[in-house]
Chains A and B, each alone.
Chain A
Amino acid sequence: MNQSTQSIDIRLIECAKTFSDGTRALEPLTLQIEAGETVVLLGPSGCGKTTTLRIIAGLESPDPGGQVLFGQDDVTNQPIERRNVGMVFQSYALFPNMSVEQNIAYGLTVRKMANDEKARRVAEMLDMMQITELAGRRIDQLSGGQRQRVALARAIAVRPRVLLLDEPLTALDALLRERLRVEIDQLLRELGITAVYVTHDQNEAMALGDRIVVMDKGMVAQTGTPQDIYYKPSNAFVADFIGTINRLRGTANKGMLQTAGGKLPWSGPDAGDIEVLFRPEDATIVALDAAELRGHVVASYFLGDRTKVLLDGIGEQTVVVETADRRQFAKGAEIGLIIKPDALMTLE
């Protein structure tokens, strides 16, 4: 697959978007996507992910002043058909009047590629997506997962400069989503193509993204690697949106943090009243006499590989912890916790 030769970087410079009905979908957005990198746009519904992707694709133009660059190439005023981008949609968007083969060949047909070369490329794509046996099928004879494979093959067949995917797995069931996600991940690495992947599913984002751009209300809330986003959320929105987070309030004094549930070792500066955060998996349930924090069980949920326990009396909101211990948690029982020393986070 000699595709990686020409991967390019994408730059959005001050791209805002106001729709004709006055909806402000994007505040001025500046974003750099490195060549060959997979960037995931993640955020709640309506935050502007699709709009950002469509501006990169050339399906929407940014408000005046915004600029889109592919490498050295200013494509701001180029329509999508001249940008050479591959697109994959949630709804697959396969041409129902064409067979699987014809769908994959479409971009090559439009480019007037010679028939034998085209046939070779289509065969290569069918093989790559492991759908060779579906070549002659009609689209309505395919399952959702097969359709999305065809859509990927169709987008990649033309060797696009960048690959843009808008929630490609959202319409599939959980098991298939997991499998195809792994395949897409391998595919993107193998091709070394610059890719922008839109999702509102954080697991997908974590697994696929070299970097994640968390968006909120038309703005970038944080950009960073999955680890950065998870362990060093830079604001309350990101902390709450990604995973589960627990909040404690307390006073920091001489290396100790005094909270409603007990005292914790504290390496940060002294403060009269601060808020600290920690992830459920960083708390461990221990015997009461060894505990730093004590709370009472509000509810517990057995999840198979672990049990999720909700506690009150520690923070203002219930604190969530998870344990692999095979024990029952009676409602109202007192439980002791310790927290990994480096797991406490603060927000600026």
Chain B
Amino acid sequence: MSLDRKEVPLLAVMLIPVFVVFATFFLLPMARLVLVAGSGENGMSEYLTVIRTPRHFESLIATVLLSAVTTLAALVISGISGVFLERNRFRGREALISMLTFPLAFPGVVIGFLVIMLAGRQGLAKEISTALTGTRLVFAYSMAGLFVGYLYFSIPRVILTLMAAAEKLDPALEEAARSLGASRWQVIRDVIVPALKPALIASGAICFATAMGAFGTAFTLATNIDVLPMTIYTEFTLNANIATAAALSIMLGIVTWIALYIARSLAGSTVAAAA
């Protein structure tokens, strides 16, 4: 689509608000953050120092892994449930959908609290497992606890988008594939997933970015696994290491951006390969 020459000034006017917001709340503070990161005793090599510090590097890797696994799990669970909920009409369906999206408004603290109720030292999982097997199942403060918490707040962010996309699936496509001999699994792989792909990428990106930046859940669980936002918090408030905190923040932004970029181009290249 090319723009008419007459439309260009109009377009510029329409875009002014977004430029203003972008500059005031994003570009200026970001520039400042970049400078702050370089203002410490290490100067601009603070970024390298951050990567070379094992504690920081591990925190970065753990955060990326946790976010990626959470995103994948959330997409799989929401994809299956979303298609099912869209296809089936049953009593209590509306209630179920609104319950699934209920955690949207919860801050991370509440999510962390819920995980502790489930799998903490006095949690439900412990009581049940003690009664059944005699072993005490406590995982709230481990990677598993974080994962459960992250998954819990990720699903509502994904499922509505996927349900909307599932509604637009053309049943004739699936029927055509089946008439050609495709099994259920082949129909999912060749018809449903490709059709849901834009929605999977869009909601997966939001899910991943949210997980990368999530703070409250990890903070409440007070685990010994430091996710990156926790590390930033520690450097900033406890160690007053402002340059390091700033450098870590920039890293968080860049890594998230790179991960999303890779995911998007991988998804794009599978389209190109199939065509």
**Residues in A lying within 8 Å of B, measured CB to CB:** 57, 59, 79-87, 89, 91, 93-99, 102, 106-107, 110-111, 138, 151, 154-155, 158
Contact = CB atoms under 8 A, between A and B. Distances in A.
Interface stretch (B36-44, B94-102, B180-188, B239-247): B180-188
Contacts of A82: 181
Given A80-B175, A89-B176, A93-B173, A102 B181 contact: no
A85 B177 contact: no
A106 B170 contact: no
Contact of A111 (B177, B179, B181): B181
B170 A91 contact: yes
B177 A95 contact: yes
A95 B191 contact: yes
A99 B180 contact: no
A171 to B, nearest CB: 12
Given A110-B182, A110-B186, A154-B180, A93 B175 contact: yes
Q: Interface residues of B: mostly helix, strand, loop or mixed?
A: helix
A107 B170 CA distance: 19
Contacts of A91: 170, 172
A81 B181 contact: yes
Nearest to B193: A97
Interface residues on B, range: 20 to 34
Contact of A106 (B175, B180, B183, B194): B180
B87 interface: no
Given A93-B175, A97-B194, A81 B182 contact: yes
Contact of A158 (B175, B180, B186): B180
A106 B179 contact: no
Given A107-B180, A110-B182, A98 B175 contact: no
A106 B271 CA distance: 16
Nearest to B180: A107
A106 B173 contact: no
Interface string B256-275: 00000000000000010011
Contact of A138 (B177, B178, B275): B275
B180 A98 contact: no
Of the listed residues B170, B173, B194, B271, the one surrounded by the most CB atoms of chain A closer than 10 A to its CB is B173
Interface of B: 170, 172-173, 175-183, 186, 190-191, 194-195, 197, 271, 274-275
B181 A107 contact: yes
Contact of B179 (A95, A138, A155): A155
B178 A95 contact: no
A93 B182 contact: no
Nearest to B191: A95
B170 A93 contact: yes
A77 to B, nearest CB: 15
B172 A86 contact: no
Contacts of B275: 97-99, 138
A80 B173 CA distance: 14
Contact of B175 (A87, A94, A96): A87
B179 A86 contact: yes
A110 B190 CA distance: 10
Nearest to A97: B194
A270 to B, nearest CB: 57
Contacts of B182: 81, 106, 110
A85 B179 contact: yes
21 contacts: A57-B175, A59-B175, A79-B178, A80-B179, A84-B181, A85-B179, A87-B179, A93-B170, A93-B175, A95-B176, A96-B194, A97-B195, A97-B197, A97-B275, A106-B182, A106-B190, A110-B183, A110-B186, A154-B176, A155-B179, A155-B180
Nearest to B270: A97
Given A59-B175, A87-B176, A110-B186, A97 B274 contact: yes
B181 A110 contact: yes
